[in-house]
Chains A and B, each alone.
With several copies, the nearest count.
Chain A
Amino acid sequence: MDDMYREVILDHYKNPRHNGELDPADISYQDDNPLCGDMIRIDLRVDKDNKIIECAFSGHGCAISQASASMLMEDIKGKTLDDIKDYTRDDILEMLGIELGPVRLKCAMLSLKVLKVGAYGVQEWVED
Chain B
Amino acid sequence: MNINNGIDIDVIKKDFPALQREVHPGVPLVYLDTTATSQKPAAVLDSLNRYYSYHNANVHRGIHTLAEEATAAYENSRKCIASFIGATSEKEVIFLRNTTEAINLVAHAWGRSKLVAGDRVILSEMEHHSNLVPWHILSEALGVEIDVINVDDEGYLDMDHYVNLLNNGPKLVSVTHMSNVLGTVNPIKTISTLAHDAGAIVMVDAAQSVPHMKVDVNEIGADFVAFSAHKMCGPTGIGVLWGRRDILEDIPPFLGGGDMIKRVYLRSFAPNDLPYKFEAGTPAIGEAIGFGEAVRYLDGIGMDKIWDHEQTLVKYAMEKVNQVPGVTIYGPSNSQYRGGVVAFTLDGVHPHDIAQVLDSDGVAVRAGHHCAMPLHEKYSLMATARASFYIYNDVDDVDALVDSLDKVRHMFK
Contacts and interface: CB of A to CB of B under 8 A. Distances in A.
Nearest to B411: A5
A102 interface: yes
A38 to B, nearest CB: 8
A85 interface: no
Contacts of B349: 63
A36 B368 contact: yes
A37 B383 contact: yes
Contacts of A38: 350, 352, 382
Contacts, number: 71
B63 interface: yes
Q: How large is the interface on B (under 10, 10 to 19, 20 to 34, 35 or more residues)?
A: 20 to 34
Given A37-B383, A64-B352, A4 B367 contact: no
Nearest to A2: B360
A26 B350 CA distance: 31
A109 to B, nearest CB: 14
Interface string B310-353: 00000000000000000000000000000000000000011111
Contacts of A102: 68, 71-72, 75
A10 B382 contact: no
A53 interface: no
B386 interface: no
B360 A1 contact: yes
A60 B349 CA distance: 11
B356 interface: yes
B357 interface: yes
Contacts of B68: 101-103
Contact of A4 (B262, B360, B373): B360
A1 B263 contact: no
Contacts of B382: 36-38, 60-61
B361 interface: yes
Contacts of B359: 1
Contacts of B357: 1, 4-5
Interface string A1-29: 11011000010011000000000000000
Contacts of B72: 101-102
Contacts of B60: 103
Contacts of A36: 350-352, 367-369, 382-383
Interface of B: 60-63, 67-68, 71-72, 75, 262-263, 349-353, 356-357, 359-361, 367-369, 373, 382-383, 411-412
